Amino acid sequence: MSCIVVLCGLPCVGKSFLVNELIHKLLSDRGLLDQVLLSLAGKDPTPRNVHLNVYHIEFDKLFEGVKDIFTLSKLSSLSLESGASSSSNTEADDFRHNLKLMREEAFIQTKNLLTLSNNTYSEFTQPLTTTLLPPISPTAQYTTQLPSVNDSSSTEQPPTPNETFSLIFIDDNMYYRSMRYRYYQLAKNVERTSFLQVFIECSESRSISQNNVRNERGGNVNGFLPSDVIYTMSERFEKPNPIEHHWETQTIFLSSPPDVNAFPWESLLKAWKNHLFESTGALDEIREKDKQKTLSN
């Protein structure tokens, strides 16, 4: 059972901070962890081994890896060209190309994680899609054996096959709705998978102010981020709108800086248990609403 959690918001609003703190709180608070696992696993009358895998897919870090591969590939191709002294592409072209590679890499990595998780429940093993970078490893893991609801039976029955729960955080600005919708479609078409958005609201001025501080400290992974980029992103940002877009119903709205202690875990659990693929009736309803919306536009 997997849940894709897509974070969206302007740069420097606390998206990565929020994910890191949520993972820390989940793994350090045993009461919260037991609540999450028991809620997901349900009341099974037999004991079973339960595994929790948490992934944090940071686009900034993926960008660095993709950029390095693209640079090496480009240098290699240039060395094979007789008399070639420079590339015809500009730095801006390379940057846009690497962004596309990064977004595709993140999507394929996520798809592979879902495939690995679902292979546990399938009679056949689905193939993985080739990626540019090595497979993403869990940021955090936890394994336990949930006790039986009936203590008398738990001593007589062996544990059932392992149950794996995966929480996948997709950490980027995601300012276009289409960027987020792609992950919703992925969740909708994969068994035992759900979808959630976390939108962190922040003013343009605060985002720029925090970005300037990060630039001064050299904290931007991809180098200096100009304020003009944030201005443009702010103008183009398509905020989640559950009223106009039914698929965005599962959205948590937070303010920057996000308060980890006030995070609504119950909303995350509700979304996590809402398997889009298995909810046939709900899925048909969503498809019909999306179809009608498309026709009206």
Q: For the chain, which ranges sit under pLDDT 50?
A: 75-88, 121-125, 148-156, 159, 279-280
Dig out the tokens for 45 from the structure: 């009358």
CB-CB contact of 43 with 149 (8 Å): yes
Contacts of 207 (CB under 8 A, 6+ apart): 10, 11, 12, 13, 230, 234, 256
At residue 65's C-alpha, the angle toward residues 60 and 70, to 5°, is 120
Q: How much is the pLDDT for 153?
A: 46
Q: How much is the pLDDT for 275?
A: 75
Strand partners for 194: 3
Q: Which helix (H) or strand (E) is 280 found in, with range?
A: helix 280-296
Dig out the tokens for 214 from the structure: 């990060």
Contacts of 266 (CB under 8 A, 6+ apart): none
- Whole-structure pTM value: 0.80
| Measured CA distances, 238 to 19, 20, 204, 260 (Å) | 22, 25, 14, 24
Q: How much is the pLDDT for 160?
A: 52
Dig out the tokens for 218 from the structure: 């050299």
Burial class of 82 by CB neighbour count within 10 A (0 to 12, 13 to 18, 19+): exposed
Dig out the tokens for 296 from the structure: 């009206």
For 253-275, write each residue's pLDDT tens digit: 999 999 999 999 999 999 998 87
For 242-253, write each residue's pLDDT tens digit: 999 999 999 999
Q: In the block, which residue shows the tokens 């026709």?
A: 295
| Measured CA distances, 85 to 35, 68, 72, 77, 94 (Å) | 61, 20, 15, 11, 17
Dig out the tokens for 151 from the structure: 């203590």
CB-CB contact of 186 with 111 (8 Å): yes
Measured CA to CA, the distance from residue 101 to residue 249 in angstroms comes to: 29
Q: Output phi, psi for 197, to 5 deg.
A: -110, 145
Q: How much is the pLDDT for 245?
A: 94
Contacts of 5 (CB under 8 A, 6+ apart): 167, 168, 169, 170, 196, 197, 198, 268
Q: How much is the pLDDT for 149?
A: 46
